[in-house]
Each structure stands twice: as structure tokens, then as C-alpha cells.
Structure 1
Amino acid sequence: MSDTDPEDRPDHNAAPVLPLPGLVWAMLLALAGTEAAFWAAAQGLIGGPAGTGWRLIAVERFGFAAAVQTWMIDSRQFPPEHMLRYLSYPLVHAGALHALLSMAFIAALGKSTAASHGQGALAVLLVVPGALGAAVFGLLTSGQGWLLGATPAVLALVGAWGWTQWQDPRKPHRATLGLIGGFLIARLAFGLLIEPTDIWIADLTAFALGAAMAPALAPGAARRALHRLRQR
């Protein structure tokens, strides 16, 4: 007989793939597919000679630039191809490592957020804070450089996760605040010391919005708000 503890034995009935919500898988596949296309083009497998410039072309077409927002405000023109940038810039990263880091955080935080708030709320948190973060970045930055990648969406999920942890009486609040504070300080230091532009503005804006939106998106929040209105 084996002395192996039953709890240590492998579960042959476990799912071969990490169980994630469908929306999280959709986001991960979109990011992975985009990076795969850039890699294949850079290797000359697709796109021909022009394939080596696909990432740069994608940045110019789908990335967010403060100068573009400034032009729209000054000219009072809001063409769809520029408005799309608020939603499309998270899909285009500066490189494969940048994309992989975003994917890792989205997988972990997306699963947690979907479990606590539902996939509808997760969709809102993945889109709205990042778009508004880009708008604030466009208003406050000097107008140089591009805003790329899903980091603002990740920070929005961090904010929502932090609110959820704070509401759980079983969680140590000091540890939660310490973890989030350390993450934000590291992000701010990285932005100030290494990044050539002020894209940390979009990240911190998205984090604040994620934390602020989490209570309103929590299950039963609309019902509770309606109940309060009726009592008044």
C-alpha cells in the first residue's frame, strides 16, 4: 500500500485548463492573438516585408495619444477612428513582456472580480476606467508619447479587488492596504524613473475609478439604492 496522503495525490478529474470566466478568456485570447500576429510578422512569417512594422502601425492607428485628444477638443471634431482609441489602446502593447504581464494580472484579478461582482461588472471595469484614465491622461500630460497596453485596466481591477477585500471582515485590512500601497508606490516609482511619459496618470486614475465603481457594481447595489430612494 502507498503511504501517500490522499490530499497529495493528483486529481485526475481536474480541468486541464485553468478555469476562468469566459470574458477573461476572451480578453486573454485577444491580447495573445495580437502579440502572436506581431511576432509572426516580425519573423517574416506573415505580412511580407512590411510585417516588421506592424506593431508601429498598430500603435499609430489604435494607440492613444494626448495630442489626438487635444486636437479633437480644439477642433470640436470627434471622428470615430479617434474615439475608438479610448477602447483599443489596451490591446496594443509596447512588447511581448508588457503584454504577458498584463495577461497574468488580468487572469488572476479577472477571475476574482467575476466571482465577487459578476462578469457584467467585470466588463465595465475592464473598459470604463481605462477609457476615462486615457481622457485624464490626455488632459494632464504634456502631449508627448503614446498610452499603450492594458495596465490601466489591471489597475482598475486592483482597485475593485482592494474594495472587496476591505469589505470582508475575515481579511486583515492592514495587510490589504499594505499590499495595494506597495503596488501603487512601485508603479509610481517605475513611471517617474523609467517611463518617458506620464502614463502613470492613466494608471492611477483607473485605479481610483475601479475602487470607486466597485461598490456600485457589487451584487444587490442597485436594489439597495432603489430601496433607499423609496424610503425617502
Structure 2
Amino acid sequence: MSHPDDQSPVNPLPPVVTALFLLLAGVEAALWLGSQGIVGGPTSVGWRLEAIQRYAFSADIFDWMVATGQWPMEHVIRFVSYLFVHGNFTHALFGGVLLLAMGKMVGEVFSGAATLAIFLCSGAVGALGYAVVLNSAVPLLGSYPGVYGLIGAFTFLLWTRLGAVGAPQARAFSLIGMLVGIQLLFGLIFGGNPDWVADVIGFGTGFCLSFALTPGGWQRIREKIRRQ
């Protein structure tokens, strides 16, 4: 047994969350430093615009792939690559903070592979929904649909715990309700692109995936199917 004094006062982040954050932060650091002319020379000022053009999700490109039946990897990768490209430093900062907070809470219960799958799948399905529902010409970028998928997984954990103690399970959805309400309010006041649609779809994806990806989830599903 380890002595209490030998234990760290700060619980370490799950490795997969640390890796995702470092990737996000590394991309943003390069783009920000380039925009300030600190690295890369004169051409680095346009790095962010180039990254958006190459890696952001585009509904127009998705429509082209569907219409032509061609799915080049350079465009298919946009379903997840957009999660690591942000519009500016503040956009990336809030995305990174939410990723650390929600990733820690989810990653302490789910496996690393499951946490990664929730983040990436929620981002991909959120992008698909963005293209199908809105068909907006504005590119989708930022980690938020993936982070909302982690919020969905966290909501699933709250939902199951409240059910186990007989408490009203609807309380588990108070966080997502508050966040969506804030986004809608800001949208009405300041305008902007309704990319919250991708966030909400990402949340739903993360919540639904949790039924199977939570520890013992597949076993419970199989047992339920057998009972039926």
C-alpha cells in the first residue's frame, strides 16, 4: 500500500485526453505564432486560412462527394480534422478547456479507446448532420461537436446514476439544456453561424454511443436481447 503522502494531490488526466489536448494546442500554437509572424516567415500569416481551406469540414465538398460518388481521403478526413482547427485563439482556448474538463470526467470511467471513439465519432456525425440539416456554405471548424459528444457521455453517466438511486433522471440533461440555451441566446444577440446544430448532434451521438461503450455495455445489451 502506498503512503498517503506519496500520492499526487492532482489526479492525472487520462492519456488519451492529454494526447487530444496536446494535438489541439499544438495546431493552435503553430497557427497563432504564424499569424503573429513569430515563426514561418511572411507566408505564415496565411497559415490559418490555409488550414481552414484544407481541413475544415465543408458541406459543399460533402455534396460534391455524394453527387459524384468520389470519396478522396483528402476530403473524407475533414469529418474529423476540422475538430483540431479553430477560427482564432479564443475559439481554441474555450474548446481546449472544455475538452480537458469533460474528457477527464469521461475518461476516468470509460476506456481510452472508448473516450477517443466518442470524441471522434461525435465530431464526424455532427459534421454529417451539419451538412444534411443546414447545408451551409460556411465551413465547420472547432472541437466543439466532439466535446459535446463527451458531454453526452457524461450526461449518460449522470443519467444512469440518478436512475440507480431513484432520482429524476431528467436532471441529467440540465447541463446540455443550459449550454444550448446560452448558444441560442448569443446567436440571437450577436448573430453568427448556427453551428450549434453540429454540437447538439454530437451530444446525441455521444449519449447513444455510451450505451455500448460504457464498461460492460455490450454485455448488458446482449443480456437484454437474450431476455427479449
Please give the TM-score of this superposition, normalised by the length of structure 2: 0.88
- 2:65 is aligned to 72
Q: For residues 204 and 155 of structure 2, what CA distance do their matches in structure 1 show?
A: 11
1:37 and 2:30 are equivalent in the alignment: yes
Structure 2's unaligned 5+ residue stretches are none
1:177 and 2:155 are equivalent in the alignment: no
- 2:198 is aligned to 202
Listed one character per residue, the Cα deviations across residues 138-193 of structure 1 (whole Å, up to 9, x for unaligned) are 11224321100000011111111111111113677465333331122112333454
Q: CA deviation at 1:87?
A: 1.2
Partner amino acid, structure 2, of 1:63? A
Listed one character per residue, the Cα deviations across residues 89-139 of structure 1 (whole Å, up to 9, x for unaligned) are 000001111111111111111111112222121011110011011011111
1:144-223, aligned counterparts within 5 Å? 144-169=137-162, 173=169, 175-223=171-219
Q: Which has the larger radius of gyration?
A: 1
Q: CA deviation at 1:194?
A: 3.5
Q: CA deviation at 1:12?
A: 7.4
1:28 and 2:21 are equivalent in the alignment: yes
Q: For residues 19 and 28 of structure 2, what CA distance do their matches in structure 1 show?
A: 14
Match of 2:108, SS state, is helix
1:53 and 2:46 are equivalent in the alignment: yes
- 2:100 is aligned to 107
Instruction: Kindly indicate whether the alpha-carbon contact (under 8 Å) linking 1:191 and 1:200 is maintained by their aligned counterparts in 2.
Output: no
Q: CA deviation at 1:209?
A: 1.1
RMSD across aligned C-alpha pairs, in angstroms? 2.2
Instruction: Kindly indicate whether the alpha-carbon contact (under 8 Å) linking 1:159 and 1:207 is maintained by their aligned counterparts in 2.
Output: yes
Query: Bigger shift: 72-81 or 172-181?
Result: 172-181
Partner amino acid, structure 1, of 2:137? Q
Match of 2:193, SS state, is coil
Q: For residues 134 and 71 of structure 2, what CA distance do their matches in structure 1 show?
A: 20
Q: CA deviation at 1:17?
A: 6.8
Instruction: Kindly indicate whether the alpha-carbon contact (under 8 Å) linking 1:144 and 1:197 is maintained by their aligned counterparts in 2.
Output: no
> Relative to structure 1, is the Cα distance of residues 151 and 144 closer, same or farther in structure 2, using a 3 angstrom cutoff?
same
Query: Bigger shift: 28-37 or 193-202?
Result: 193-202
Q: Tell me the number of residue pairs that the alignment of Structure 1 and Structure 2 aligns.
A: 222
Structure 1's unaligned 5+ residue stretches are 1-10
Please give the TM-score of this superposition, normalised by the length of structure 1: 0.87
Query: Bigger shift: 166-175 or 42-51?
Result: 166-175
Instruction: Kindly indicate whether the alpha-carbon contact (under 8 Å) linking 2:183 and 2:196 is maintained by their aligned counterparts in 1.
Output: yes
Match of 1:168, SS state, is helix
Q: For residues 11 and 221 of structure 2, what CA distance do their matches in structure 1 show?
A: 36
Q: For residues 107 and 136 of structure 2, what CA distance do their matches in structure 1 show?
A: 35
Query: Bigger shift: 11-20 or 64-73?
Result: 11-20
